[in-house]
Amino acid sequence: MRKYILRRLAQTIPVLFGVSILVFAMLHLAPGDPVEVLLGPEANAESIEHLRKEMGLDQPLVVQYATWAGRMVEGDFGRSTVLNREVFPEIMKRFKATLILTAGALTFAVIVGVGIGILAAAMRNSIFDSVAMLFALAGLSMPLFFTGIASILIFARELRWLPSSGMYSPVGGGFLDLMAHLVLPAITLGAVSAAIIARMTRSSMLEVLGQDYIRTARAKGARERRVIWLHALRNAAITILTVLGMQFGYLLGGSVITEAVFSWPGLGQMMVRAIQSRDYPMVQGGVLFVSAIFVFVNLAVDMLYAWVDPRIRYS
């Protein structure tokens, strides 16, 4: 097992290396110049040239990449060109907010998705099944910014049940305040995942429910509830877990739009601003950080398989 983990960890190195090259190349080859965005309309050609040199942007791309990658290996993410602060502490600060949002969305997606999926499978071909799957399809097709803005207009502006945006109220704060602010963005972000999870749970449950041992369980007199929640769900869990792991990565990425719509102070919102202002160190550091998280979450999911299904062993 330990050998397996070590091997998997080693495999993340080329992945992150590839990501670093990709993000670096995309940023530097995209049109737009950080110096001009930074200096703004007041700048003259001379100061542009001067700052470009100071930031090392006059060097060949390969040299720039090597310098940056070298520092990254040492754990130095560099300084944000816009905020004039260290990149890594900023990422960590924002990541906390993103994690809260992602966790909220995932909680919502799991409760709703797994719940609906199981019920739909148990009541296969019933009206509930059809309606639930219709909603799941609709949830899948709805773009985040639409559901987000619509929910602001309905629940914040018209009904006034919940705050429009942000993570805390301007005055006050605390856990309840955070939760009130979390509801709309978490549901917006989690809706698509809930739909995917519901569909996957349903089909995976249906497959399991057709197996012999389920028939055996029923035959020996187990109650239907026990059959479904214990015998079937446990065996359907592997598929659900895989989807969950992938959804976590999707939610981290999807949070960019949700954070922008709800002004959630997370990593995504910071990244959008960093991209607009061509804050190279911030964008590169941020993307690499999120990629690393994604890779490790996938690794963790693989580890979980062994726990959920004792038949799976890694060597």
List, in order, residues 6 or more apart from 310 with CB less than 8 Å away. none
Please state the closest distance from residue 15 (CB atom) to another protein, in A. Answer: 28
What is the distance, to the nearest Å, from the Cα of residue 201 to the centroid of all Cα atoms in its chain?
20
Collapse the DSSP code of 79 into the 3-class scheme (helix H, G, I; strand E, B; otherwise coil) and give the result: strand
**β-bridge mates for residue 79, sequence order:** 86
Q: How far is CA 12 from CA 5, 68, 157, 246, in A?
A: 11, 19, 46, 17
Burial of 48 (0-12, 13-18, 19+ CB in 10 A): middle
Dihedral in degrees, nearest 10, Cα atoms 188, 190, 192, 197:
-160
Choose between 126 and 276: whose C-beta lies nearer to another protein: 276
What is the rounded distance in angstroms from the CA atom of residue 24 to the CA atom of residue 70?
A: 13
What is the rounded distance in angstroms from the CA atom of residue 59 to the CA atom of residue 83?
A: 23
Please state the closest distance from residue 270 (CB atom) to another protein, in A. Answer: 7
Please state the closest distance from residue 167 (CB atom) to another protein, in A. Answer: 6
Tell me which DSSP letter residue 41 carries.
Answer: G
Choose between 231 and 295: whose C-beta lies nearer to another protein: 231
What is the distance, to the nearest Å, from the Cα of residue 31 to the centroid of all Cα atoms in its chain?
27
Choose between 77 and 262: whose C-beta lies nearer to another protein: 262
Choose between 78 and 129: whose C-beta lies nearer to another protein: 78
What is the rounded distance in angstroms from the CA atom of residue 279 to the CA atom of residue 283?
A: 6
Query: Which string of DSSP letters, residue by residue, matches 193-208?
Result: HHHHHHHHHHHHHHHH
Please state the closest distance from residue 256 (CB atom) to another protein, in A. Answer: 12
Choose between 112 and 208: whose C-beta lies nearer to another protein: 112
Please state the closest distance from residue 213 (CB atom) to another protein, in A. Answer: 16
Please state the closest distance from residue 50 (CB atom) to another protein, in A. Answer: 8
- From the CB of residue 313, how many other CB atoms can be counted at a distance below 10 Å? 10
Choose between 12 and 314: whose C-beta lies nearer to another protein: 314
Choose between 41 and 60: whose C-beta lies nearer to another protein: 41
Please state the closest distance from residue 299 (CB atom) to another protein, in A. Answer: 19
Choose between 183 and 246: whose C-beta lies nearer to another protein: 183
Please state the closest distance from residue 73 (CB atom) to another protein, in A. Answer: 23
What is the rounded distance in angstroms from the CA atom of residue 46 to the CA atom of residue 52?
A: 10
